[in-house]
Amino acid sequence: MSSGPPDLGSREAPLAPEGDLLRVGEQEAATDEREASAPMGILLVDDHRENLIALRAVLEPLGERLISADSGEDALRVLLREDVAMILLDVRMAGMDGLQTARVIRSRPRTRHIPIIFLTAQPSELEEVVRAYATGAVDYVTKPFEPEILRAKVSVFMALRRERNERLRQSRARARAEGVARTVRTLQILSDAALAHLELDSLSDELVDRVSKLFEAGSVALFLRDEDTARLYLQASHGAEMPGAPEEQIRLGEGTLGRLASEGQPILLDGAEIAALQAEPSEDQDPTSTLTSVLAVPLLTAGQLLGLLLVGAGRDRQFERGDLDLLTLAGYRIAVAIDHVQRFAQGRQLVETLQRSLLPEHLPASYNLQLAARYLPSGVAPQIGGDWYDALALDEQRMALMIGDVVGHGIPAATRMSELRNVLRAFALEGHSPGRTLDLLDGVAQATLGTGMLATVLFVIVDVAAGKVTLARAGHPPPALRDADGEVTFLETDRTLPLGVGDRFSVAEAEYPIHPGQTLLLFTDGLIERRREPIDLGLERLGRALAEAPDDVEKLADHVLEQTILQQPSDDDVALLAVRLVPEPVGPLELRLPAVASSVPLVRHRLRSWLETNVPELDPGVRQDLELAWSEACTNVIRHAYGPGDAIFTARAAVEPEGVLLEVRDSGRWREPRGRHGGRGLSIIRQVVNELRIERSGTGTTVRMQVLFDRDGEPEAAAS
């Protein structure tokens, strides 16, 4: 039924890079483990082979890896390719001597910290040198050496070396762990589910803010691609101005940033490259925004460039390769989040426009009907539903009311809804009965609704003049009718199927009397259906709400929603359409109408509803006769009007103590009824009224008729 908000965390996010980063960490940790227990290299340097052999024999029991070199030059070559833990170095050698060799070793960063034990026959010539180095990692052994002492000394150095390596390993592991934790935390913070509910502007601001905190950045700028153009515009920024984008927009392929974006590769810009950026034409460069390094990460989804994220380090920070890797990973998440929100926003905007176009802006106005409608989107899924309502004045007296529900949500449902609504309007305007209209609509629905698309519809024609509603429904809940005294009933028809079910069927039609003061409520099932609740409970809740609701339809609609939806929130969207038959005013009825045939039923129906309000206990026989007399008098006026549509006549009814007084007045001349039609009409009037007077004057003719409430024995007297 609903797809819910987009999940920013899981979809489309490329997992491989994250996995790689974590795996690299694992490999480093494993290397450390191996190193901790593995033998370390000891480099033995002496230009006398026999000395080398002797040294090997002494040190062999330590179990370390012994590497021999027979000159200073050879030692330096070995050090280029081998990692060694310490060096035993003969001082007196041909060519490069020990002291020179040691100097070179100390001058190279990679070998600077390797402890050296000098082997010498003349300790005095070395003491000064050893003190000069003063690193503690240098010692000497005099030749001829005591094997035990040499072995012990080397052993101590190796133990120290191992301890140092262990500390290094631990700190690397800690740093790595922290790095992984930072990665995970960063990604979590940037793909926080809470961001999914933000609109693009809020999301961008929030992301930029979070990135600046996570990367301790002095400056963050998020550029997004203008749809289908070659421009990136500044969507959000934080901190100091980013160099190279002075106009807050970047043209793809132009300038350093433009080329970066086109190439789609993350890059770490150092000070020199930033300086180059700043050297590019820029009018309002902020001189304080000196950035030491900038991370530039293109935002991509499905290979499409979505934008560019620039993160600049402040003065007291220097970005490294690891920061770029992390921001690259973060960039995937950010791109996904923005992409989702953009798509969602587009879809939502389209859908909202569609929805607005589907629901009537104004309900038709009518002197005898008050209409109010409400539409509430689903409380769960923030998107359009398939509910709609519509109202259409067929003529002065008849109003077509339509409400329906296309199963589903979103644009497909809204589109179907739009089709059905327009077709339904067309059939309604053609004057088909509700049952026939839905038969025709079902034909259209089966031809056009996609497979699996269902729709329910309720179609009602309220005929105020005839005092009846005619309705037909296709799988839709029946409307509720509220009497003036608050009693609520549901106007049933025979059970029907939704539109588009498959088998053609003939829609049952039903007719009910309806009176002024009553209110008809059309609604969709969202108003009554709740998960895990029998439908009867929903109907009862609606019945109670409607019974207690105020008379005014607007207030009534609010009250009903308040007592149903707000008490028991619905998963579905809800539409309702309330129609109140306005009671005739208390007091005399005065009508001014054109002298045309269609005015005859109108005046009769107005009289009928006026009588219901003003003389509620009227005897049905008296009521019939009042209608007859009134219709006959009006018919006579209209028959003898001067020309079609020109003339106006007035009709007036008033309650008197003894009975009802009816007056019909034309603006011209009353013709003496003649011919068989007029004769019959006047004959009827004479028989049904207690008193008839026809008054002619210069301005027109007035027919005045009185019917008594108690007519016992009167007709004879009246029929003269």
**What residue ranges bind other proteins (CB under 8 A)?**
395, 431, 433, 435, 465-466, 472, 481, 487-494, 506, 508-513, 539-540, 543-544, 547, 597-598, 600-601, 604, 624-625, 627-628, 631-632, 635, 638-639, 676-677, 680-681, 683-684, 687-688
What is the smallest separation between the CB atom of 680 and other proteins, expressed in angstroms? 4
Please say which residue, 230 or 510, places its beta carbon nearer to other proteins.
510
Minimum separation from the CB atom of position 441 to other proteins (A): 16
The minimum distance between CB 394 and other proteins, in angstroms, equals 10
CB of 704 to other proteins, least distance (A): 19
Q: Report the 10 Å Cβ neighbour count for 469.
A: 25
DSSP H helices, 509-651, are: 535-548, 553-564, 599-614, 620-639
Question: How large is the C-alpha radius of gyration of the chain?
Answer: 48
User: Strand, helix or coil at 486?
Assistant: coil
Residue closest to 454 by CA, chosen among 442, 472, 436:
442
CA–CA distance, 710 with 435 (Å, rounded to integer): 43
Q: Is 472 helix (H, G, I), strand (E, B) or coil?
A: strand
Give the nearer residue to other proteins in terms of CB position, either 320 or 619.
619
Across the beta sheet with 574-581, what order do the strands follow? 369-376, 574-581, 519-523, 480-482
Please give the angle made by the CA atoms of 570, 573 and 576, to the nearest 5 degrees. Answer: 100
CB of 701 to other proteins, least distance (A): 18
Q: How many C-beta atoms lie closer than 10 Å to residue 142's C-beta? A: 15
In angstroms, give the least distance from the CB of 384 to other proteins: 31
SS3 696: strand
| Separation CA 212–CA 209 (nearest Å) | 5
Q: How far is the CB of 422 from other proteins (least distance, A)?
A: 23
Minimal distance in Å, beta carbon 695 to other proteins? 22
Nearer to other proteins, 312 or 543 (CB): 543
Residue (172 or 639) nearer to other proteins, CB: 639
Following DSSP, what letter does each residue of 402-414 receive, concatenated? EEEEESS-HHHHH
Encoded tokens for 80: 């280029």
59: which 2 tokens? 């040190």
Shortest distance in whole angstroms from residue 425 CB to other proteins: 19
Distance between CA 479 and CA 458 in Å, rounded? Answer: 8
**Nearest distance, CB of residue 504 and other proteins, angstroms:** 14
Q: Which is nearer to other proteins, 206 or 551 (CB)?
A: 551
Q: Which is nearer to other proteins, 21 or 684 (CB)?
A: 684
Scanning the structure block, which residue is given the tokens 């176009």? Answer: 357
Tell me the closest approach of the beta carbon of residue 9 to other proteins, in angstroms.
47
Indicate the residue among 283 and 503 with the shorter CB distance to other proteins: 503
Q: List, as one string, the DSSP characters of 65-128.
A: EEEEESSHHHHHHHHHH---SEEEEESS-SSS-HHHHHHHHHHSTTTTT--EEEEES-THHHHH
Give the nearest distance from C-beta 337 to other proteins in angstroms.
Answer: 49
For 272, the token pair is: 């020199």
Q: What would the two tokens of residue 19 be?
A: 């996995």
Cβ of residue 532: shortest distance to other proteins, in angstroms?
Answer: 21
User: Would you say 166 or 487 has its CB closer to other proteins?
Assistant: 487
Give alpha helix (H) positions in 6-71: 16-37, 49-59
User: Minimum CB separation from other proteins for residue 568, in Å?
Assistant: 17
CB 593 within 8 A of CB 603: yes
Closest CA to 38 of 66, 68, 67, 64: 64
State how far Cα 18 lies from the chain centre. Answer: 29
Which CB, 661 or 684, lies closer to other proteins? Answer: 684
E strand or H helix at 133: helix 124-133
Tell me if 252 sits within 8 A of 262, measured CB to CB: yes
Give the integer Cα–Cα distance in Å for 508 and 302. 53
Contacts 24+ apart (CB under 8 A), 222-227: 222/307, 222/308, 222/309, 222/310, 222/334, 223/249, 223/250, 223/261, 223/307, 223/308, 223/309, 223/310, 224/299, 224/306, 224/307, 224/338, 225/252, 225/305, 225/306, 225/307
Q: Letter for the amino acid at 247?
A: E
Least distance (Å) from other proteins to the CB of residue 185?
58
